[in-house]
A and B are shown apart, each in its own frame.
Chain A
Amino acid sequence: MSRWLRFDKQLREVDADIAKLERLLSSPSISDERRQKVREQIASLRRRQEHITRDVFGMLTAWDNVLLARHAERPHALDYINAICEDFVELHGDRRFGDDPAIVAGLASLEGMAVAVVGHQKGRDVKQRQFRNFGSARPEGYRKAARIMRLAERFGHPVVSLVDTPAAESRPEAEERGIANAIAENLLLMSQLRTPIVVAIIGEGGSGGAIGIGVGDHVMMLEHAIYSVIPPESCAVILEAFGRDPARGPEAAEALRLSARRTMELGAVDEVVAEPLGGAHRDPAGAARNLKESLVAALERLRVMPREALLEARYRKYRGIGHFVE
C-alpha cells in the first residue's frame, strides 16, 4: 500500500472517531461538563487532522496523485453534473449502433445558461463499474458525444466536457466498430465546432480515450486529476529505462509529469482548479463549487467571442503546442 493510501485510511479512521464523538454529543443523558470535554476532543481531532493533511498534501508524489485521481470515492461526472447544473436531461444513443454507458451526454442548465454536457462516467460499486465499463468508452460513446455536440452547435449552446477515463476500450468489438476512427472524428469535430467548448479533466485523463472528448477552447484540470499519454504502469513495462517492471510505475509517473501542475507547466492545460483539502472525495460539494466557478467564468468569457475569432484562437492554441528545436 502506498504512503498516501495508508494516510487516506487513517483519515477515515479519524473521521469515524469524530462521528462517534458527535453521536455522543447528541445523547440527552450526558452531563454539561462531559459535553464540553467531548467538544474539545472533537475540535482537537479536527485540528490535528487538518494539520497532518496539510503536511501530507504539501509533498504529494506523482504516484500519490495517480491514486488520488483513481480513488473510488472521487466524484464522477454525474456527481458533478447533478451538483453543478440546475437541470439535466440525459440523452442516449449514437443513432448508429447503441448507447454506451461509459459516456453520459445531455442538455443542462448551468447558472441559467443552456449547455450541452458530455463526460466519461465511472461506477462506484462492482456492478456499476462493470455497467460503466470502468469509464472506458466504446466507439458509440464517442459518437453519442459527437451527436450531442453537433446539437449544441446547431442551437448555439456551449459544450462542457468532463474527462475521466483510464483509456478508450480496445477490445475486438470496439476495434471492429472503429474506435480509432471514432476518436479521430471527434478530434476533427471539436477542432471545428462553431460553439465554445470548455473541458475539465476531473479524474483520469487517459490518453486517446481522454482527448477523444478533450479538445476545447479552455481546458482545465482539477488539482489532483492526472493527464497522461499512457498509464504509468504500462509505461514502466514498455521502457528499459524502468527495467520493464510494472512495479516501477511510480517512477514512470514522476517522469511523465502527469499531475495538473506539471501539465499546466508544459502548456497542455489552461487552468488548474483547486480541490478541497484532502482531495475532492473528502468534500465533493466543495469540489463541485470550485469547478462550477471555473466553468462559468470560462463560458462567460468565451460566449461573447465572435465565432471566427473563437475558432482561430482554438486552432492557434493547439497549433502552438510544440517543444522542438530547429
Chain B
Amino acid sequence: MDQRERPETAAESRRGSLSGAPAGLWTKCSQCGEMLYQPEFEEELYVCRHCGHHRRLGARERVAVTADVGTFQERDAGMRSSDPLGFPGYREKAAEGQERSGVPEAMIWGECSIRGLPVVLAVMDFGYIGGSMGAVVGEKFARAAERAIEARKPLVVFACSGGARMQEGIVSLLQMAKTTAAVGRMNQARVPYLAVYTDPLTAGVFASFASVADVAIAEANALVGFAGPRVIEKAFNIKLPPGSHTAEYQLQHGMVDVVATRRELRGLLARLLALLAPAEEERAQ
C-alpha cells in the first residue's frame, strides 16, 4: 500500500476493511487453500499473499479500490430492465442478483477522479446475473460514453461478464452494436477510453465494447475469452492446456496491451490517463 498519510481510496480509508465486515476472521484462498487473515487479505486488496490469486471484486469494492476517496458520484442508479420478453424466472434472478451483489444492475457508472484526474467510470459486477449485458448495461455504457464526450473526460471501464443476457433475448444482442457504436463516437471526439478486463470476461461483452478500447488492460489471472474454457472442452471434446483463456494468454496472442496486478492497476490507469490526454496541438484545433 502507498505509504502516505492521507488515504487515497475508500478502501484505504477504511484501513483495510474493504467490505466493512468485522475484522479478526480467517478466510481460505479459493485457489491454493492457504489460510488468510482477513484484515491482511483486505489490505492486500483480496489478492492471496501465497499464490497471487485475485479474488473477484464486486462493483462497489472495485470503485473503492480505484476512485479517489469520496469522489465517485453514481448516475442512473435507479435504471431497471422492463423485462421486455416476460422471460420465465427473470424477475426472480434479478432480485437474487441484487441481493447477492448489492448493486442495482450488472453495471454501475458515474464520475470520479483517479489520482486527481477526472474520469467517467463504469464498472461491471459478475454477481449480478453473471455480469450479463441487457438493455440497462447497454444504456448505461452508452450514457457513460456520451457523458465522457460531453465533459471531455476519459472513460474507464472495468469489464467482467458472462456475455449478453439471455433473459432479454435479441434486445441484449443488439446492445453489442449499441455500445460499440458509442465507442465510435468517443473515437471521433478523441476521448480516451481505457478498458480493464477482470475475472471473468467472455462472449458478448468481450466481443463488443471491451475489445475496442484505446488501451486494453487485463487484471492478472483473469479468465478472458470469447467462450469459456470449460464450455469449449465440453463442446469440442478437447483438453485445453493450463493457462488457456487467461489474461496472460491473451497478452501472448496480442489481444491485450498490459497485464497488471490489482495493486498496480490504479497507478497504471493514472499514468495512462496522463499520457493519453490530447496533445496541445490537438486541443487548439
Contact = CB atoms under 8 A, between A and B. Distances in A.
Interface of A: 168, 170-172, 174-181, 183-185, 187-188, 190-192, 207-208, 210-212, 214-215, 227-230, 235, 238-242, 255-258, 263, 266, 268, 314-315, 318-319, 321-326
B212 A178 contact: no
A210 to B, nearest CB: 8
B183 interface: yes
A266 B176 contact: no
Interface in B72-108: 76, 78-82, 84-85, 87-89
Nearest to A268: B170
Considering the complex of A and B, which 5 residue pairs feature the smallest CB-CB distances, nearest first? A184-B211, A191-B181, A241-B89, A187-B180, A170-B227
Nearest to B228: A170
B75 to A, nearest CB: 11
B79 A172 contact: no
A172 B240 contact: yes
Interface string B202-215: 01101111111000
B160 interface: no
Contacts of B85: 255-257, 266
Contacts of B81: 323-325
B80 A187 contact: no
A255 B253 contact: no
A326 B169 contact: no
A187 B253 contact: no
B206 A255 contact: no
Nearest to B210: A184
Nearest to B206: A180
Given A170-B232, A179-B207, A184-B212, 20 more contacts: A171-B232, A172-B238, A175-B225, A180-B207, A183-B207, A185-B212, A187-B180, A188-B183, A190-B177, A211-B177, A227-B170, A229-B169, A230-B164, A235-B166, A256-B166, A256-B170, A257-B169, A315-B181, A318-B177, A323-B84
B70 interface: no
Q: Indicate the member of A210, A241, A314 with the most B CB atoms within 10 Å.
A: A241
Interface residues of B, number: 61
A190 B80 CA distance: 29
Interface stretch (B12-20, B135-143, B150-158, B276-284): B135-143
A301 B76 CA distance: 38
Contacts of B226: 168, 170, 174-175, 179-180, 208
B50 interface: no
B85 to A, nearest CB: 5
A50 B102 CA distance: 57
B170 A266 contact: yes
Given A174-B226, A188-B183, A325 B82 contact: yes
A156 to B, nearest CB: 20
Contacts of B136: 324
Contacts of A191: 177, 180-181, 184
Q: Indicate the member of B166, B178, B227, B240 with the most A CB atoms within 10 Å.
A: B166
Contacts of B209: 184
Contacts of B232: 170-172, 175
Contacts of B87: 241, 255
Contacts of A214: 177
